[in-house]
Amino acid sequence: MSTAHVLGGVTVPLVTTLDDSGRPDAVAARPLLEALARARVHGLMLLGSNGEGALLPADSTAEFVAAVVEQWHALRPGGHVIVNVSAPGTVDMLRRAEFALRGRPDALVVTPPSYFTFRRDEVEAHIRAIERFEHPYAVYNVPKYATALTPETLGALLDSPWLVGMKDSSGDADAFAAFLAVVADRDDVAITQGSERDLLSALRAGASGIVPGVANIAPGAAVRLYELWSTDAAAAEAAQVVLAGLTRVHTIRPGVPAVKGILHDRGLIATPLPAPPLAALNRTELDALRATLDPDEAELIGTRRA
């Protein structure tokens, strides 16, 4: 599948830059967006787990989405921006979608509902509710945070003219293979891989793209893996090792605070602030991250502060 597809190629699940008051700030994202464009990244995913979407009020994100969409399309003509609008319940999900659509993203992204235990028909109804907007959407399977999507539910959604595919971050190879089988006869519906340790194996199995969180800090390795996986096995495997290895930053501080701290330390975002109740890195954590990243300095974007 071509990188022209909204889920094709390398999609970076972008961090959400915040100003000193904690509001999303697209101007502060400009250096990072420029660096990602220079690395030839194909697309962005906004407000996912790396983008702290669940912690940010929907009405605070509309201007950020619109500004990032405009900037990215200017920096990467033909590039795509997808926006996660997931929420535990359907009403909140639809409200988030309304705000996101003001920014004219290329597609929306929605997980199954969360918090409670839901029947399959309830999961399908929640996802299908987004179709009222008549806008392209993808399903996001992330069992760590939401009800697990099943191949049966994905298959039931294939009659939708608005479904463009799904992102799988389950880390379950058998489930991933089952999702690929469901869409095997649909060249318009893409399956992407979000698990950093499974990127190369997913592409070899038939994935249309990859969505690795560590591509925020090492986009070149992600692009290299995607571009070379079918033509240069050794280079692709080396890139996979780099990307999987970079997940070690989360052993020092899990998730967004580590990524934002690194990006701020390298001059790519104005503040390292995560959304409350997450706290920014302390100096000890930053020093530990610097030390653990030293072996991969050549792979990282930006330049570390003195």
- Give all domains of the chain, ordered by start, each with its CATH number: 9-232 (3.20.20.70)
108 three-state secondary structure? strand
Per-residue pLDDT band at 130 (split at 50, 70, 90)? very high
Cross-strand pairs, 80: 43
Buried b (16+ CB within 10 A) or exposed e, 195-215: bbebbbebbeebbbbbbbbbb
Cross-strand pairs, 166: 139, 191
* Phi, psi dihedrals of residue 264, rounded to the nearest 5°: -65, -40
| Mean pLDDT lowest among 2-6, 81-85, 218-222 | 2-6
Largest Cα separation within the chain, whole Å, is: 55
> pLDDT digits over 91-115, tens only?
999 999 999 999 999 999 999 999 9
pLDDT of residue 1: 62
Report which DSSP code applies to 79: -
- pTM of the predicted model, to two decimals? 0.96
pLDDT of residue 3: 80
Q: What is the C-alpha separation between 113 and 147, in angstroms, rounded? A: 6
What percentage of the chain exceeds 70 in pLDDT?
A: 100
Put residue 93 in one of left, alpha, beta given phi > 0 → left and psi -120 to 50 → alpha.
Answer: alpha
